[in-house]
Amino acid sequence: MSLQPQVPNDNFRQQNPEKQKNNDSEYSKKMILMKFLPLISLIILILFFSIINSQFLTVGNSLNILRQSAVLLVVACGITFILLMGSIDLSFGSIITLAGVLGALMIVHTGIPVILSILIGAVIGVLCGLINGLIFAIGKVPSFLVTLGTMFALDGIALMIIGGSPVPVNSSGFLDLTRGSLIPGIPNIILWSLIIYLIMIFIGFKTKFGRYMFAIGGGETVAKMSGVNISRYKIYGFMVSGLLAGIAGVLMASRLGSATPRMGEDLLLDGIAAVVIGGTALTGGVGGPHKTLIGVLLIAVLGNGMNISSVDPYLQIVIKGVVVVAAVAIGLDRKKIKVVK
């Protein structure tokens, strides 16, 4: 799909000032609605599931939703930067699997400290992101094709390492990484995700890297003319995505108590969906990590609500797919698009 920016019609503005003023007013109202639509949708979903099931809005189930969404929030923050620069990453689910597998194996066979298992996952993620970034930015291969290829390759490596069998982990320290509670009543997995989320917001809005992600997605040519090293920051973007996917893999293995083949597969649809639904545009330059939390909660609430309402698992996948398409269709700023291919 190729999206080309539409050039404003200055003659129309000059010849029809009143009509253009009305159009601009309607456009502004639509943008305000789009800004708050994810939050409104989340509130509606919560009210809907609360009405049809009295067990939904309980403390226990609310904590369960937060636990279920924690790993998704970590990985979605990384994907946010990829979409911000107008690219795509299909390999993060496979990075989660590979990092989780290697982190779990190191715990089981060497008994390394838990913090080192997280470091291993982070390093694996960064290296995978670096490979993606180099092929994409230096090799000039579309990000869709690059990450589609590495997705299969990384899945294959993980399967070869464990032979298709799960790797159970019984280390209490490793399990406490996500199941314990440093703050009474709040699982550690929730604390991990919130800390990472806040760090990503800071990076997105208070660092050169974050500003350049917006700039590249908003207009790569303009960013390049402004002195931005486009290739370098594209590589950085994939490295950040890989870093968070690697950390998410170790956290997921800790939460499940084992590393399993393709354990990151289910997060592929949910991760991209959460970022898009939250308000980060697939066309790049619009959104940010601060919006991702609402999208993650929407996906988590939808999934949890359908589970406790006994909706067929296969139908749930269909519904999520429809939600993603609807979110893209509603949130797309068509004034900025001239041709869609």
For the residues 156-173, what does the mean pLDDT come to? 90
pLDDT of 341 above 70: no
Q: Which long-range contacts (CB under 8 A, 24 or more apart) does 161-165 make?
A: 161/101, 161/102, 161/105, 162/101, 162/105, 162/259, 162/261, 164/261, 165/261
> What φ, ψ does residue 229 adopt, rounded to 5°?
-80, 90
pLDDT of 31 above 50: yes
pLDDT of 249 above 70: yes
Two tokens, residue 55: 């067990």
When comparing pLDDT for 175 and 13, which is higher? 175
Contact 276, 84 (CB under 8 A): no
When comparing pLDDT for 207 and 7, which is higher? 207
pLDDT of 92 above 50: yes
**Distance between alpha carbon 67 and the CA centroid of its chain, in Å?**
16
pLDDT of 9 above 60: no
pLDDT digits (tens, 9 = 90+) for 250-291: 999 999 999 988 899 889 888 998 998 888 888 888 889 999
- Describe the crossing of helices 17-52 and 289-308 by its angle, rounded to 10 degrees: 40
At 142 the pLDDT is 94
As a whole number, the mean pLDDT across the chain is 86
pLDDT digits (tens, 9 = 90+) for 190-247: 999 999 999 999 999 999 999 999 999 988 889 999 999 999 999 999 999 999 999 9
Confidence at 159, pLDDT banded by 50, 70, 90: very high
Q: Where are the chain's structural domains? A: 70-268+280-285
Task: Name which of 99-108, 139-148, 262-271, 297-306 the model is least confident about.
Answer: 262-271
| Reported pTM | 0.87
At 120 the pLDDT is 93
Give the 3-state secondary structure of residue 287: coil
Amino acid residing at 283: T
Question: Which are the contacts of 318, defined by CB distance < 8 A and separation ≥ 6?
Answer: none
Concatenate the DSSP letters of all residues of 67-116 into one string: HHHHHHHHHHHHHHHHHHTT---S-HHHHHHHHHHHHHHHHHHH---HHH
Contact 120, 103 (CB under 8 A): yes
Of the candidates 151, 160, 18, which has an alpha carbon nearest to the alpha carbon of residue 96?
151
Contact 38, 277 (CB under 8 A): yes
- Cα–Cα distances in Å, from 84 out to 25, 30, 203, 255? 26, 21, 13, 29
pLDDT of 6 above 60: no
Buried b (16+ CB within 10 A) or exposed e, 3-31: beeeeeeeeeeeeeeeeeeeeeeeeeeee
pLDDT of 4 above 50: no
pLDDT digits (tens, 9 = 90+) for 34-56: 678 888 889 999 999 999 988 89
For the residues 95-120, what does the mean pLDDT come to? 92
